[in-house]
Structure 1
């Protein structure tokens, strides 16, 4: 029987690609969206993420959270939304896979490891959203009642990049590809998310990261 998965914020650019990848691999996919379902998912729950109740995720094997915020006025919504969904899944066997950020990945600096977002060259324009993602991860790491996996993209997350079908799986450290770059396309990241859904060895209560080869 195909795994049943739900994708929150499925109408977003990454959400749609995750839905498409999952459907193409034969998973039973439900899009959770605020308005019209614009994905290829055959089922939809039309609801704001903050209005979801404990009944909504019942019956799903995996809930993927592709929720994002991009303005200073809404940055705080991201960790609150992740915490809200985690509360709904607490004490269940439903896995919670979170589309995360790269700013909290670790890099070497003066002989110690610091977050990428704390390095001098980290762009000011991304500090707010990076901090929001970092808070969401920090909150998840306090929880042992949720089967969560936090998935960071590479530092350069390329919306229109090609689907190569290949990527590297890494952990908390910023990892570089064969060109010495930290980069991955949205399409290859979606492959990594669905690989994590279907793997026999899931990364429960871990942060993983994905980078191109």
Structure 2
């Protein structure tokens, strides 16, 4: 497959690219500056449909962390959706865990619980807005993939994951965790299988 990765130089993007390359896929990395793994230096908001004309899957692994640009999570995802609207190519969005519900009634997201770190609330709300905006799109083949609550950048690659939905789930040890490397496996699996188009899914360690 031909996979375009936005934010290919970031921690998540780089591991997704590595996982896809290990399976023989053709990867094009996009980034805002020239770095290892970046084939095309271009701001995501400056991309055109022509830039993505030959790809099968676009992975939005863009990260915005400064308070003044958190809204770019939504802006960039919607721009990519615009570019892919009506096309066969799919959009996979690297989401956050803060939106996952902690109750069966689906009234309380993780980010509104007392245990959620205050420092991460603005980012979680921005990613929740990104999710809400994506779910409104019926013209683009998107999938929003949330990681577990403890998203471990340097965590060990265990080689698998448990697929879940919009509820926060835990593994056998009672924790909600997943490494970036195992999350990358889930992203590339979805790229290959296209089993959750137009859905919000989550993944965690077994």
Q: Which has the higher helix share?
A: 2
**Aligned position for 2:67:** 72
Looking at structure 1, the residues matched to 134 and 187 of structure 2 have their Cα atoms a distance apart, in angstroms, of 18
> What secondary structure, in the 3-state scheme, does the structure 2 residue paired with 1:180 have?
coil
TM-score when scaled to structure 1?
0.93
Cα drift, residue 54 of structure 1: 1.3
Cα drift, residue 71 of structure 1: 1.7
How much is the aligned-residue C-alpha RMSD, in angstroms?
A: 1.3
TM-score when scaled to structure 2?
0.96
Alignment equivalent of 1:104, drawn from 94, 99, 105: 99
For the Cα contact (< 8 Å) 1:102–1:153, is it kept in 2?
A: yes
**Aligned position for 1:156:** 150
Alignment equivalent of 1:114, drawn from 88, 108, 111: 108
Give the 4+ runs in structure 1 shifted more than 6 A: none
Which deviations, in whole Å up to 9, do the C-alpha atoms of 1:166-206 show, x marking residues without a partner? Answer: 1100010101011000000011000110111111x520100
Looking at structure 2, the residues matched to 194 and 117 of structure 1 have their Cα atoms a distance apart, in angstroms, of 27
Unaligned runs of 5+ in 1: none
Which deviations, in whole Å up to 9, do the C-alpha atoms of 1:140-183 show, x marking residues without a partner? Answer: 11110000000000000001000010110001010101100000
Matched, 1:14 2:29: no
For the Cα contact (< 8 Å) 1:31–1:37, is it kept in 2?
A: no
> What secondary structure, in the 3-state scheme, does the structure 1 residue paired with 2:49 have?
coil
Unaligned runs of 5+ in 2: none
